[in-house]
Amino acid sequence: MGPVATSIAALFDRRGWLMIGGFILVIFAVVPLLRLAVPSASPLHLSDYYVLLFGKIMCYAMVALAMDLIWGYAGILSLGHGLFFALGGYSMGMYLMREIGTEGQYRSHMPDFMVFLDWKDFPWYWAGTEYFIVALCKILLVPGLLAFIFGWFAFRSRIKGVYFSIITQALTYAFMLLFFRNNTGFGGNNGFTDFKRILGFSLAHPGTRISVFVVTGLFLVLTLLLCRYIVTSKYGRVLAAIRDAESRTMFSGYNTRDYKLFVWTLSAVLCGIAGALYVPQVGIINPSEMSPANSIEIAIWVAVGGRGTLVGALVGAGVVNGAKSYLTVAWPDFWLYFLGALFVIVTLFLPKGVIGWRRGEFR
């Protein structure tokens, strides 16, 4: 354990570890206490709304980290990362649909939308979805395999830059259309909702909700540690070398295709995990998660926070989504203008995002 512990300790400086420690304290102690132990009459009581908002932002922050890994460090801009997020969400959603049991509107053991379609049996790809362990495997494998196959062809054909971005955008759009169809077997445009339980625990119960919240926080910290390990390893330096001078990297003896494929697939898997944690919290997953605009928004979070820093991705996801949740309520018509203006301002004046600005790097 000695060398492993040392190398984990070296991932962050003292200040970084203190901040992570503080975050863990908030996730594991402060939020659960304020939500569950403080009486709801008290001004310190945390409402479900904030727990949900905070939980959602943590899922987005995981996605932002995954995005920064490929965009900030490998120079690959994906405009289809919402797809992997949604696939993870659907994998979890299928399990949650089965957990409803016979408590749906039609009192059938089949999900409502299948009854509505007059299906008598589950399609083959629903086999085993009632087991949580199967859901866990699919959360990792479905986004991972799709990303691997897509990446294998794209990187083999040396598709780069804007071409790659456009193809990822088309990919998520194609999947959105596919999932919109009722016959695809994923609930059509309504997707999955009305979940009742997870692992037998009622999703309406505050304890269950806080548990999912805590698990999400745990995965966010683990994702941060993993990403940090990767970008500070020699692998991370090779990745940045590919971003800056791919042919020099190849002529130095690195198989750049494998390097890109690995980080691309890992990034998709991280998005899938985030999506799977998101769905039980918000209680719905539908094809709009795969809309191209959603994926572009992910890129904006990272651009706003600052690419290639990891912490920038966290800040960007937090700031943009915090602003979104406020503005879409306060001035619902104004939100998209704000998002557009934010992107223009960041591109023009803060090419290194909020983090670069804080470090005094202006254009």
Partner 1 sequence: MSTVVADADLDGGAVATGMSHLVAADQIDISHGVILYLDSVTVSFDGFRALNELSFSIDAGELRCVIGPNGAGKTTMMDVITGKTNLDSGSVFLGQTIDLTQRTEYEIARLGIGRKFQKPSVFEYHSVFENLELAMDGPKGVWSTLLHRRGSEQEDRIHEMLKRITLAERMNEPAGLLSHGQKQWLEIGMLLMQAPKILLLDEPAAGMSDEETERTAELFLSLEGQHSLIVVEHDMDFVASLQRKVTVLHEGSVLAEGSMESVQNDERVIEVYLGR
225 binds partner 1 (CB under 8 A): no
Q: Does 226 bind partner 1 (CB under 8 A)?
A: no
Q: Does 361 bind partner 1 (CB under 8 A)?
A: no
According to CB under 8 A, which residues from 257 to 286 bind partner 1?
Answer: 258-259, 262
Q: Is 249 in the site for partner 1 (CB under 8 A)?
A: yes
**Which residue number, 201 or 262, has a Cβ lying nearer to partner 1?**
262
- Span interacting with partner 1, options 112-120, 157-165, 252-260, 282-290, rule CB under 8 A: 252-260
The residue range among 14-22, 37-45, 240-248, 268-276 that interacts with partner 1, by the rule CB under 8 A, is 240-248
Query: In terms of CB distance, is 87 or 302 closer to partner 1?
Result: 302
Q: Which residue in 248, 334, 340, 363 binds partner 1 (CB under 8 A)? A: 248
Using the minimum distance from each CB to partner 1, give the nearer residue, 6 or 105: 6
The answer to whether 247 contacts partner 1 (rule: CB under 8 A) is: yes
Kindly tell me which of 78 and 256 has the beta carbon lying closer to partner 1.
256
Tell me if 250 contacts partner 1 by CB under 8 A: yes
How far, in Å, CA of 96 to CA of 92, rounded? 6
Of 245 and 344, nearer to partner 1 (C-beta) is 245
Q: How many other CB atoms sit within 10 Å of the CB of residue 329? A: 9
Structure tokens at 71: 């965009």
Give the contacts of 52 (CB within 8 A, at least 6 positions apart): 209, 281, 282
Q: Does 152 bind partner 1 (CB under 8 A)?
A: no
Minimum separation from the CB atom of position 118 to partner 1 (A): 49
- Residue 148 sits in the site that holds partner 1 (CB under 8 A): no
Quick check: 120 binds partner 1 (CB under 8 A)?
Answer: no
Q: How far is CA 269 from CA 50, 142, 288, 357, in A?
A: 27, 8, 20, 31
Is residue 251 at the binding interface for partner 1, with CB under 8 A as the rule? yes
> Per CB under 8 A, does 235 bind partner 1?
yes
Q: Is residue 245 near partner 1 by the rule CB under 8 A?
A: yes
The sign one gets for the Cα dihedral 176, 179, 183, 188 is negative
- Whether the CB-CB separation of 283 and 193 falls below 8 Å is answered with yes
State in angstroms the smallest separation of the CB of 69 from partner 1.
13
Question: If binding is defined by CB under 8 A, does position 254 make contact with partner 1?
Answer: yes
Residues that bind partner 1 (CB under 8 A): 230, 233-235, 237-238, 240-241, 244-245, 247-256, 258-259, 262
